[in-house]
Amino acid sequence: MRKILRHRYFLLEHKKKAKKRTKEMNIGEEQDALLESLINTKPVVRRSSEPPVSVSAQQIQAALNKERNERRRRRAEQRSYSVTRKTVSRFRSKLILFDPEEMCLCGLLSITHSVHLIVCIEIFFALVLLIQAPDLLTMDGTYFYFLGLFDGTGVFFFSLHVSVCVTCIISSGILYLGSRKQIASLILPHLLWQFSFILISLSAIITLMTLGLKGKMLLPASIVLSSMMGVAGGCEVWWCLLSLAYYRFIRDGKNHWIDDNSRHNLV
């Protein structure tokens, strides 16, 4: 008997829960249908004499539009953190001083920043070599790989070494000043120094290889020293061409600026 009563109690409870669920579902469907009907209803065009009507549908539509715009804004903010090709190109254009097409170093830097980087590299190595200059006076040319050929010539090598390094630092400073002031003539001293260094490197390579082949100095040492001078001279050839392009760039840019101003004054 107890089992039968318990079973009936469970059946009644199950029916009550089922009725409650269906009722909630019906209410939800009715609300959805009402919302859909409010959204789909066409706005009523009222005359100025008519009393204002309810704008609940318009308010709902405005709320939905606001929610959509908020979602779009959040998605845009999340996508903005990713580095894309467009952002990289925009970053490049900010680095350029004049024209976005004037790029060098495989398109990574503008010609202005490339020349500034070269100046920093040259000044760094010039300072390092100046620190090592007193060793030339100490050794006085008595390096073992010269086989006594340049004994007593330390003052000559020291003078040549110091003059090359000091003129490099001075001309680099003048080039940087010309770059900041946009004066093309201040680029020429460093161009002259670069050309002189290329000639010195070429003559040093020829001299060292000749001495090594004639047996007046150790051949491996002549090859190593010639290779070092060749690397430095090759870099200076590249940098000299870049400095020449920068000189033309500033000169032509200034001429274009003058032409634009004259045209503006004529107009």
For residue 243, give its domain range.
107-259
In-domain check, residue 186? yes
Has residue 130 been placed in a domain? yes
Q: How many domains does the chain have?
A: 1
Which residue ranges in the chain fall short of pLDDT 70?
1-11, 14, 19-57, 75-108, 254-267
| 248-257 CB contacts, 8 Å cutoff, 24+ apart | 249/98, 249/102, 249/111, 250/178, 250/179, 250/182, 250/183, 250/184, 250/187, 251/184, 253/98, 253/99, 253/182, 254/182, 254/184
pLDDT at 61: 74
Query: Could you tell me if residue 101 is inside a domain?
Result: no
Does the residue 80 lie in any domain?
no
So what's the pLDDT on residue 202?
Answer: 94
Please tell me the predicted confidence (pLDDT) of residue 166: 94
The answer to whether residue 62 is domain-embedded is no
Q: What's the first-to-final CA gap in the chain, in angstroms?
A: 112
Q: Is residue 134 part of a domain?
A: yes
